[in-house]
Structure 1
């Protein structure tokens, strides 16, 4: 197999994986005539046509027919045993660092954002 054919094959495989990047999303159908959506995490109400980020960094949108929400932070972070992950829900960020030294970052992989 030539280099070009292999490159095209790898590209097609990667494109096929794109739909999997929304694996951390959900949709809730609304009753006909609903004017608001209720955030499941925060129990707050939001008008149809609005978007928001809740206290757990979940990003939601309320449309006339449904509320859709997607994780704003990775649901799975892969790192070595000597590292830990710390989520900051105020800034919707996270850090991965050595257990015994917060100033030593760890290499990691994230899934689900």
Structure 2
């Protein structure tokens, strides 16, 4: 098997090991008749019916009776890889610690 074919095979194998997404969500009730929800991370206020992304890159929604936020980032990977989060751009990169030139996955969000 050629080096290129072997590298492609290893790359696809490692991609298969990566957990694509383990979304974590949380929600909380807001007072009846409230017109705004407060983000529990940033302490910012948002009108009912709105959505926003907070400083931890969670996508949040304010409903008439509750607010909710969800992370769409992977929380775990396998096979000698780590996740590096960039909170300024709300992107992540999965890095192969043993072979940095081989990909463990794609950056996204």
Q: Name the SS of the counterpart of 1:95 in structure 2.
A: strand
| TM-score (ref. length: structure 1) | 0.63
Q: 1:24–1:70: 8 Å Cα contact kept in structure 2?
A: yes
Structure 1: which 5+ residue stretches go unaligned? 1-20
Q: 1:22–1:70: 8 Å Cα contact kept in structure 2?
A: no
- Number of corresponding residues: 87
How much is the aligned-residue C-alpha RMSD, in angstroms?
2.7
Which position in structure 2 is the counterpart of 1:3? none
Q: 1:79–1:106: 8 Å Cα contact kept in structure 2?
A: no
| Structure 1 segments of 4+ aligned residues over 4 angstroms from their partners | 100-103
Structure having the higher strand fraction is 1
Encode CA deviations 1:46-68: one digit per residue, 9 max, x unaligned: 11111001011111110111101
Structure 2 CA distance for partners of 1:42 and 1:33, relative to 1, 3 Å: same
1:51-70 aligned at under 5 Å gives the runs 51-70=51-70
Structure 2 CA distance for partners of 1:35 and 1:85, relative to 1, 3 Å: same
1:1-113 aligned at under 5 Å gives the runs 24-74=24-74, 76-81=75-80, 83-99=81-97, 102-107=100-105
Larger RCO (alpha carbons 8 Å, 6+ apart): 2
Q: 2:93–2:105: 8 Å Cα contact kept in structure 1?
A: no
